[in-house]
């Protein structure tokens, strides 16, 4: 090795010695717990040294974000009750309206007379019933309203449906004693009337017409033997609706002729009635075996 080479190596070593000494001192400072320039700023803190008073630094955990309040879940919304299609409403007329009014009367929601007309009084009654039963309040009858009403009531009687046909009961003394038992058609030739009697109480009294001199209406106590709603006489070829036969071919029935000419004519022995609606109502309440009493008071 030449001298120039040796000289170059020596110079290089001299230049390296200060850097080596600095690195050794830095390592010793860290080993002994000396402070290290912080690169975390305010994010680090000094912990007490375990011994000898030395300290070391460690990162501080970042603060957790504040928990946001959770809004309560909204209560479920119940579907609103919607009324169904109208079955009966203002302006309607007929037997269905009578049935509605009679049923409302049974449970105290209709105090007016049953008329068969759906007017303001019926609307108010239906609205009251609906409000009480948690049914959509419309004043009109839909299927839900009708089902509730049917479940709470019974089939109205003829008297409930047609109170205008009910007459005040006649004193029992005015009736033939044979008319006071059960259901009876009490026919009085003297007054030319037929009284529909149930358990001694007169339900209805109607005008009646009887047979002429050559075909008189037989008198006495009889029973209803057969009934024919749309009967036509095979002997006279005449209409005899609501026929209730009590003695052979003699019957109580509606007579179009009696309705047309009144007492100017006579029957062939039957008891003629000229009130079509009333005799139809009686027919629906009479049964085979009920009494027929034809007498003179």
| Statement to judge: residues 180 and 148 lie in one domain | no
**pLDDT at residue 40 in the model:** 46
**pLDDT at residue 59 in the model:** 66
Query: Would you say residue 210 lies in a domain?
Result: yes
CATH number for the domain harbouring residue 157 = 1.10.101
| Statement to judge: residues 143 and 185 lie in one domain | no
Query: Would you say residue 82 lies in a domain?
Result: no
Query: Would you say residue 34 lies in a domain?
Result: no
Distance CA 278, CA 204 (A): 8
**pLDDT at residue 43 in the model:** 41
In 3D space, the residue among 120, 165, 123 whose CA is nearest the CA of residue 140 turns out to be 123
| Statement to judge: residues 180 and 278 lie in one domain | yes
Q: Total structural domains in the chain? A: 2
| Statement to judge: residues 179 and 271 lie in one domain | yes
Q: Where does a domain end: 163, 184, 215?
A: 163
| Statement to judge: residues 280 and 202 lie in one domain | yes
Query: Would you say residue 16 lies in a domain?
Result: no
Query: Would you say residue 261 lies in a domain?
Result: yes
Q: Where does a domain end: 139, 163, 187?
A: 163
| Statement to judge: residues 139 and 259 lie in one domain | no
| Statement to judge: residues 110 and 230 lie in one domain | no
Q: What's the angle, vertex CA 131, arms to CA 121 and CA 90, rounded to 5?
A: 35
**pLDDT at residue 30 in the model:** 55
Q: Where does a domain end: 121, 146, 163?
A: 163
| Statement to judge: residues 177 and 154 lie in one domain | no
The one-digit pLDDT tens for each residue of the chain (297 residues) are: 566 677 677 666 666 665 555 555 544 555 455 444 444 444 444 445 455 555 556 666 777 777 777 777 776 665 667 889 999 999 999 999 999 999 999 998 998 889 899 999 999 999 999 999 889 999 999 999 999 999 999 988 887 888 766 554 444 447 899 999 999 999 999 999 999 999 999 999 999 999 988 999 999 999 999 999 999 988 878 889 999 999 999 999 999 888 888 888 899 999 999 999 999 999 999 999 999 999 998
| Statement to judge: residues 158 and 180 lie in one domain | no
Distance CA 55, CA 57 (A): 7
Domain range for residue 179?
167-295
pLDDT digits (tens, 9 = 90+) for 227-280: 999 999 888 788 899 999 999 999 999 998 888 888 888 999 999 999 999 999
CATH number for the domain harbouring residue 268 = 2.40.440.10
Angle between helical axes of 143-152 and 120-132 (0-180°, round to 10):
80
Write the DSSP symbol of residue 135: -
Query: Would you say residue 83 lies in a domain?
Result: no
Residue 126 near residue 141 (C-beta atoms within 8 A): yes
**pLDDT at residue 118 in the model:** 95
| Statement to judge: residues 257 and 183 lie in one domain | yes
| Statement to judge: residues 183 and 289 lie in one domain | yes
Query: Would you say residue 193 lies in a domain?
Result: yes
Query: Would you say residue 147 lies in a domain?
Result: yes
Residue 57 near residue 38 (C-beta atoms within 8 A): yes
| Statement to judge: residues 174 and 284 lie in one domain | yes
**pLDDT at residue 161 in the model:** 87
């Amino acid at each position: 090795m030449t001298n120039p080479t040796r000289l170059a190596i020596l110079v290089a070593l001299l230049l390296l010695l200060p850097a080596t000494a600095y690195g050794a001192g830095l390592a010793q400072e860290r080993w002994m717990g000396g402070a290290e320039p912080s690169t975390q700023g305010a994010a680090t803190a000094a912990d007490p040294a375990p011994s000898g008073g030395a300290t070391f630094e460690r990162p501080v955990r970042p603060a957790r974000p504040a928990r946001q309040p959770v809004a309560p879940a909204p209560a479920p919304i119940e579907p609103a009750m919607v009324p169904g299609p109208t079955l009966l409403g203002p302006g309607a007329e007929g037997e269905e309206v009578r049935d509605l009014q009679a049923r409302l009367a049974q449970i105290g929601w209709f105090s007016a007379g049953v008329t068969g007309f759906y007017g303001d009084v019926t609307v108010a009654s239906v609205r009251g019933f609906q409000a009480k039963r948690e049914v959509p309040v419309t004043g009109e009858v839909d299927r839900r309203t009708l089902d509730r009403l049917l479940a709470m009531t019974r089939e109205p009687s003829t008297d409930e449906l047609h109170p205008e046909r009910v007459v005040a009961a006649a004193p029992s003394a005015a009736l033939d004693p044979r008319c006071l038992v059960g259901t009876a058609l009490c026919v009085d030739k003297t007054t030319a009337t037929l009284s529909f009697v149930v358990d001694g109480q007169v339900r209805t009294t109607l005008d009646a017409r009887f047979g002429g001199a050559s075909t008189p209406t037989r008198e006495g106590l009889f029973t209803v033997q057969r009934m024919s709603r749309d009967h036509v006489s095979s002997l006279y070829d005449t209409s005899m609706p609501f026929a209730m036969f009590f003695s052979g071919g003699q019957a109580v029935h509606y007579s179009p002729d009696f309705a047309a000419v009144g007492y100017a004519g006579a029957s062939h022995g039957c008891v003629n009635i000229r009130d079509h609606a009333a005799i139809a109502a009686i027919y629906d309440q009479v049964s085979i075996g009920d009494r027929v009493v034809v007498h003179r008071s």
